[in-house]
């Protein structure tokens, strides 16, 4: 048995057209390599798209690649992730499944108060695949708590469990504030646990849990991820061997500067001196500047000159990060950075408990915040007018908070 395991493609997620196009090229490369390596099937463990209703151009390009897989006899098994899941139940994943381009393995029913998942059997290999979708705010945890694990564990054969959630045991220190669940919520005894949601590359075996794997994104989704990961990729399982396939269509170059006591003109010249005489063909350039300027404004740094010079040296794309740069002439503002989930959690932790709500403890308040965030992130339904969408959201919030609106 040989299969590819991908996750967190977030197709359509980058706002800038060049980076959105590059992100898709990495996805195309992952698909092309999977075909060349004659995999039996492909697993995509959530967040194929960055939203439940992606743009038409992204959808058309994705359909083209999925058709290529179908024409090569390679089925694609998926689960929804926290980005392409929709509380309305209408996502583009359903359309792809209806077109027989993918198969969603999150299928089951409630039996005696327990969630009993069904297995999807791969025709060629006989592998038995099941999995759990992901939701924003870790709201899928209640599904795990109600999961009939015994039913899954007693099934014989080669079994694969797909999931889109953070596991505490595999969470790196840099993501320690991210909400997570213990691995014990997963059923034991499977051959492979195909993870998603946490943008790290990890393959770990624990007692009762063999091959617990996060492939990371097929292409980094933020400045922070470009800096930390530097490339995209996916895993290939081949008869028990699990190997990472690194994708490097562009090289990421990090330019870091600490500029304490300098003025904007000096910072500009320092950066120009650093890039002088070098070529950056097809490179993604990340410029990170930290420190406290002795005078002037951050905006006085001549980024137009710097960018022009780098693009003349054939850089593919340039990004800058100045969140840790301030000036003595202006009041310093603390700006948090890092993965979106960490920032959201920090903001919630900073403000939770400030409003006294009768009969609400901290746990209840946190639960309500997560539910409201999920509701407010829900997408507009097909054919729904803007005013209808807004009215529905307000009414649903009213029901959630048990107030008349």
Catalytic residue status for 10: no
Q: What is the distance between the alpha carbons of residues 364 and 366, in angstroms, rounded to a whole number?
A: 5
> Measured between alpha carbons, how far apart are the two ends of the chain, in Å?
56
Domains (ranges, CATH) in the chain?
A: 2-247 (3.60.21.10), 251-327 (no CATH), 352-401 (no CATH)
Helix/strand/coil for 154: coil
Phi, psi dihedrals of residue 340, rounded to the nearest 5° = -55, -40
Burial class for 289, CB neighbours closer than 10 Å (0-12, 13-18, 19+): buried
Query: Mind listing the pLDDT tens digit of every residue in the chain (405 residues)?
Result: 999 999 999 999 999 999 999 999 999 999 999 999 999 999 999 999 998 888 899 999 999 999 999 999 999 999 998 888 766 667 888 889 999 999 999 999 989 889 999 999 999 999 999 999 887 666 677 788 889 999 999 999 999 999 999 899 998 887 877 788 889 999 999 999 999 999 999 999 999 999 999 999 999 999 999 999 999 999 999 999 999 999 999 999 999 999 999 999 999 999 999 999 999 999 999 999 999 999 999 999 999 999 999 999 999 999 999 999 999 876 544 555 566 666 676 667 656 655 556 567 777 777 788 888 887 877 777 666 776 777 788 888 878 777 665
Helices (H), 75-222: 92-98, 141-145, 149-153
Pairwise CA distance, residues 10 & 217, whole Å: 8
Residues near 324 by Cβ (< 8 Å), separated by ≥ 6? 288, 289, 290, 291, 335, 337
The number of helices, as runs of H, and strands, as runs of E, in the chain is: 11, 18
Of 123, 33, 27, the C-alpha closest to 73 is: 123
Query: Scanning the structure block, which residue is given the tokens 């299969």?
Result: 3
Q: What is the dihedral of CA 318, 323, 328, 331, to 10 degrees?
A: 130
Catalytic residue among 5, 10, 16, 83: 83
For the question of whether the overall pTM of this predicted structure is more than 0.85, the answer is no
């Amino acid at each position: 048995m040989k299969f590819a395991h991908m996750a967190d493609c977030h197709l359509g997620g980058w706002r800038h057209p060049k980076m959105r196009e590059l992100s898709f090229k990495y996805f195309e490369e992952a698909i092309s390599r999977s075909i060349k390596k004659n995999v039996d099937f492909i697993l995509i463990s959530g967040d194929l798209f960055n939203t439940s209703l992606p743009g038409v151009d992204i959808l058309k390009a994705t359909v083209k690649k999925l058709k290529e897989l179908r024409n090569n006899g390679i089925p694609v098994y998926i689960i929804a992730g926290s980005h392409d899941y929709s509380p309305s139940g209408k996502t583009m994943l359903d359309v792809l499944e209806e077109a027989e381009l993918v198969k969603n393995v999150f299928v089951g029913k409630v039996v005696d108060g327990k969630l009993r998942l069904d297995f999807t059997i791969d025709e060629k290999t006989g592998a038995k695949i099941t999995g759990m979708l992901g939701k924003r705010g870790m709201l899928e945890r209640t599904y795990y708590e109600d999961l009939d694990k015994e039913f899954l564990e007693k099934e014989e054969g080669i079994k694969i469990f797909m999931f889109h959630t953070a596991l505490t045991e595999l969470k790196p220190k840099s993501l320690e504030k991210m909400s997570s669940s213990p691995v014990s919520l997963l059923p034991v005894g499977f051959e492979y646990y195909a993870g998603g949601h946490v943008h790290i590359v990890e393959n770990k075996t624990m007692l009762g849990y063999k091959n617990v794997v996060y492939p990371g994104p097929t292409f980094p989704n933020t400045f922070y991820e470009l800096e930390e990961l530097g490339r995209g990729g996916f895993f290939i399982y081949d008869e028990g061997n699990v190997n990472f396939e690194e994708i490097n269509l562009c090289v990421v170059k990090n330019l870091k500067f600490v500029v304490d006591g300098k003025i904007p003109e000096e910072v500009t010249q320092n950066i120009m001196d650093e890039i002088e005489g070098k070529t950056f063909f097809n490179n993604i350039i990340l410029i990170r500047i930290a420190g406290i300027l002795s005078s002037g404004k951050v905006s006085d740094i001549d980024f137009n000159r710097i960018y022009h010079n780098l693009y003349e040296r054939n850089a593919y794309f340039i990004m800058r990060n100045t969140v840790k740069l301030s000036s003595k002439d202006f009041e310093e503002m603390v700006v948090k950075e890092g993965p979106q989930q960490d920032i959201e959690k920090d903001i919630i932790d900073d403000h939770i408990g400030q409003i006294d709500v009768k009969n609400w403890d901290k746990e209840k308040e946190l639960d309500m915040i997560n539910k409201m965030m999920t509701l407010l992130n829900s997408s507009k339904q097909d054919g729904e007018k803007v005013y209808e969408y807004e009215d529905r959201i307000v009414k649903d919030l009213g029901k959630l908070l048990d107030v008349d609106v």
